[in-house]
Amino acid sequence: MLAKARQNRALRWLGRQILNTPQPASYFDPLAEAINPMWVQAYTPARVERIFTETHDTKTLVLRPARRWGGFQAGQHVNLGVDIEGVRRQRTFSLSSSPRLWQDNGQITLTIKRHPGGRVTNWLHDHLEEGAVLGLTDAFGDFLLPSVAKPLLFIAGGSGITPILSQLESLAAEDYRAPVTLLYFVRTRKDTIARETITALAARYSALTVRILATHDNASPRSLNGSDLDSVPGLTARDVFLCGPGGLMDLATELLYQRGIRDSQVHCTFFAPPTIASLSKEALGGDVRFVRSALSVDSTGDATLLEIAEAAGLHPQSGCRMGICHQCSCRKTSGTVINRLTGKPSGPGEESVQLCVSVPRGPVTLDV
């Protein structure tokens, strides 16, 4: 009788522990991971099936996610989770394969460029091996192809080609018949990511026109110019998809607007967050108080709340670090921040802010 009562108490205790866990199914993850990492429930595990080199600083990972993963649309991103020196790190990467590869073969690809000084990209390049298991979130992002066929222009720079590769593969698979043009800017021809894939696409997909433009192959560097756009037939009727360094995207947007392209025709996904050049005269920085961590930090300049937190030894959840994934969103209880992407100030009271793109303007209190 006593043994039965103890057993019941133990079961009730276990039930409370599981119900108090944000993801009850993940309660047994430590045990599951030790037996088979693909059984983990807290995130979608994905096994690395193959790694191949695209350029001297870019690799493509062929992953096989657990079948419960929800799939994606061409142009979307995922947060990739990896354990580095005992700390779980997440970063956002675009899917470079067509959704058809996932639907038919259960595989996806991520094409990842080494970022100088980047903790995660350098680890992936230097230490990741085939057979390892990484973590995926659900796909997200609205850098999506139109639902109705229309002429398209893609302008990519460097590793900004990755979501566009997925989109071009999808268009070819669907036999999308409206004209499609790709202007792909690389530093030198040796820096062309997925050259073989792009060449094969252009050969089999008759609606696609490809121009790969090297900016530093000659003595005089070049960039996107008006004649590049003027060479695109029916430019003003096209939807335009931009992905690349901020300078290229800003220049492309300006040249497109000069030629009568409307805002509604231009679709962008961020490659790197813009700086707050327009607010350089504003008094940025201030005392940032992290309430739950019982920590206050005095900041100056245009450091983001995420950078301030990490410099103080905190590890708030984050993903893309560019304002895309909202993984770092938290509650601001007081103070004003400037959104690094829009340049707009927040209200002074309680609201949700993104740590990675928010810069304090005066004292700020956060529920972190």
Whether the per-residue pLDDT at 222 is higher than 70: the answer is yes
In the chain, which ranges are continuous DSSP H helix?
2-19, 29-35, 99-105, 119-127, 161-173, 195-204, 226-230, 246-258, 305-311
Triad 106, 109, 114: Cα angle to 5°: 155
Q: What CATH number does the domain located at 152-268 have?
A: 3.40.50.80
Rounded (10°) CA dihedral 271, 273, 274, 276: 180
Q: Whole-angstrom Cα distance, residue 335 to residue 349? A: 6
**What tokens were used for 79?**
């947060």
Cα 192 to chain centroid distance, Å, stands at 20
Query: Do 152-268 and 277-366 agree at the fold level?
Result: no
Q: State the fold for domain 34-136.
A: Elongation Factor Tu (Ef-tu); domain 3 (2.40.30)
Q: Whole-angstrom Cα distance, residue 171 to residue 79? A: 24
Say which DSSP state 51 is in: E
Bridge-partner residues for 275, per DSSP? Answer: none
> Measuring CA to CA, which residue among 178, 166, 186 is closest to residue 94?
166
Q: Is the pTM of this model over 0.95?
A: no
User: In the chain, what are the domain boundaries?
Assistant: 34-136, 152-268, 277-366
Whether the per-residue pLDDT at 14 is higher than 50: the answer is no
**Cβ contacts of residue 368 below 8 Å, gap of 6+?**
290, 291, 292, 293, 309, 314, 316, 330, 355
Say which DSSP state 292 is in: T
* pLDDT tens profile 51-107: 999 999 999 999 999 999 999 999 999 999 999 988 888 888 999 999 999 999 999
* Residue 43 near residue 136, CB atoms below 8 Å: yes
- Architecture of the domain made up of 277-366: Roll (3.10)
Least confident of 34-38, 105-109, 176-180: 34-38
More confident position, 126 or 5: 126
